[in-house]
């Protein structure tokens, strides 16, 4: 499901005394966050803020936002989630946003059988793991290219070729 505004990270602390903030990016690479000239304080895009500067510093991005020019103002922003406008993002072909993946229905690529709905994504380092829920049960699916069919977030539909047993009902151990 395509969304107009997506969360890109959270302010986790300050850096220095001039209002620079440490932002934990919610993307594959901290550098992704550097491309935005404007960010938003809400998921509807009603409260925008100009990005004065952004630079990668280890696994965080050091960001200065317009109007935040002291350590005290920056500290008051701690835990704030930042959003970006989807139209402002440059995303390589075949990539998609986790926010848009959640809510997609999952089907078997060969039979069309429904497996459930993606409710969360957990990065593991080697690959992401999709949390797929159906009838109150949660299944963990490794999002590895060999098991993926088509990912169409605009249509809210994903097809997969799962390993045998991954979506099977658990055996009763009586």
Nearest to 16 by CA among 77, 78, 69: 69
DSSP H or E stretch at residue 74:
helix 71-76
Domain boundaries, the chain: 5-86, 98-160
pLDDT at 76: 96
Cβ partners under 8 Å of residue 83, min gap 6: 5, 6, 7, 8, 39, 40, 41, 42, 43, 45
Mean pLDDT of 68-95: 91
Write the CATH number of the domain with boundaries 5-86. 2.40.30.60
d(CA 128, CA 122): 6
- Given a cut of 90, whether residue 127 has pLDDT beyond it is no
Residue 2 pLDDT greater than 80, yes or no:
no
Q: Provide the percentage of residues in the chain whose pLDDT is more than 90.
A: 70
Q: What sign results for the dihedral spanned by CA atoms 153, 127, 119, 98?
A: negative
Q: For the domain made up of 98-160, give the CATH fold.
A: SH3 type barrels. (2.30.30)
pLDDT at residue 169 greater than cutoff 70: no
Q: What is the mean pLDDT of residues 127-144?
A: 94
């Amino acid at each position: 499901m395509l969304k107009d505004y997506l969360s890109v990270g959270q302010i986790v602390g300050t850096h220095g005394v001039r209002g620079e903030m440490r932002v934990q990016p919610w993307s594959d690479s901290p550098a992704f966050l550097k491309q935005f000239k404007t960010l938003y304080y809400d998921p509807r895009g009603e409260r925008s803020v100009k990005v004065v500067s952004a630079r990668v510093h280890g696994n965080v991005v050091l960001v200065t936002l317009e109007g935040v020019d002291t350590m005290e103002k920056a500290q008051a922003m701690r835990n704030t989630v930042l959003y970006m406008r989807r139209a402002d993002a440059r995303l390589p072909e075949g990539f998609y946003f986790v926010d848009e993946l959640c809510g997609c229905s999952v089907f078997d690529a060969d039979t069309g059988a429904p497996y459930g709905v993606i409710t969360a994504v957990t990065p593991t380092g080697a690959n992401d793991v999709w949390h797929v829920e159906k009838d109150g049960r949660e299944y963990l699916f490794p999002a590895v290219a060999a098991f993926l069919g088509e990912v169409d977030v605009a249509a809210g539909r994903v097809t997969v070729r799962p390993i045998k047993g991954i979506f099977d009902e658990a055996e009763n151990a009586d």
